Amino acid sequence: MLTAMAAAVMALSTVVAPAEAADSPPDDRITVTVVTVNGSGCPAGTAAVAAAADNTAFTVTYSDFLAQIGVGASPTDFRKNCQLSLRVNYPQGFTYGIAQADYRGFAHLVAGAKGTEKANYYFSGSPSTGATHPFSGPLSDYWQATDKTEVAQIVYAPCGEQRIFNVNTELRVSAGTSDISKTTSFMAMDSTDGSVKTTFHFSWKRCP
C-alpha cells in the first residue's frame, strides 16, 4: 500500500514539476531608458523609469495619469493612456523576458461607477502579453492588478539583438448607473512620492 502511494506521489510530482528555472540576473548593473513616450496619461516629463539595484525588476512611475468622469471632468477625461518605448541595456551573453507586472494606483468610484486598468507589453516584432482588470464602485482605496506569465510562456528578447520594449497602459472610467451630474469618479496611477508605481519583474536567461 505504501509503495503504491509513494509511486502515485512520485508520478504526480512529475506531472506538476515546474519548467526550467530562470538564470540569476547578470552581475553588471543594467539600465532602462525611455526612447519615446506618447499618450494623454503621460505628458512629456511625467513618466520615469528606474532599474532595481539587484537587476531583478524595473519600475515606471507617473505623475499625471488620471482618468475621471463627472463633476469637474472634461468629456475626454474618461480615458487616459500611455505608450512607452524603453531600451534595456544589459551585458552580452544574457537575454530577458518579463515574468510578472504589478500595477498600482488609487481609485475613487462611487456606487454604480466602473473603472478599468488595461495593459500590454511586448518586444518590437514579438507577441504581446497583458490583461484587462475591471473595478466597480463603491471603492475609495488603493488598487493593485498583477499580470503573471507562466514560465513556459515568457517571451524573451532574441539573443544578440537589442529590441525595444514597449509598454501600453490604459485607465478608463465609466458612469455605469451613477449620476455623473452630481458625483465624480476617477482612477489614477500617478504618484507624487514614488509610492505608486508599476513594477516589471525580469526573467533572465544566459544565451547559448
DSSP codes, 112-160: T-EEEEEEEEEETTS--EEEEEEEESSEEEEEEEEEE--GGGPPBPPTT
Count of residues for the chain? Answer: 208
Predicted local confidence at residue 193, as pLDDT: 53
Beta bridge pairs of residue 67: 187
Predicted local confidence at residue 72, as pLDDT: 92
Predicted local confidence at residue 123, as pLDDT: 93
| 161 Cβ contact list (under 8 Å, min separation 6) | none
Predicted local confidence at residue 83, as pLDDT: 96
Predicted local confidence at residue 12, as pLDDT: 34
* pTM given for the model: 0.82
Dihedral sign computed on CA atoms, order 38, 155, 49, 124: negative
Distance, in Å, from the CA atom of 75 to the CA atom of 56, rounded to the nearest integer, reads: 40
Predicted local confidence at residue 26, as pLDDT: 86
Predicted local confidence at residue 185, as pLDDT: 97
Residues of the chain with pLDDT under 50: 1-20
Predicted local confidence at residue 179, as pLDDT: 94
Predicted local confidence at residue 21, as pLDDT: 52
Predicted local confidence at residue 190, as pLDDT: 74
Cell 499625471 maps to which residue? Answer: 64
Domain boundaries, the chain: 2-206
**Residue 106: which of 167, 196, 199 has the closest Cα?**
196
Distance, in Å, from the CA atom of 193 to the CA atom of 7, rounded to the nearest integer, reads: 55
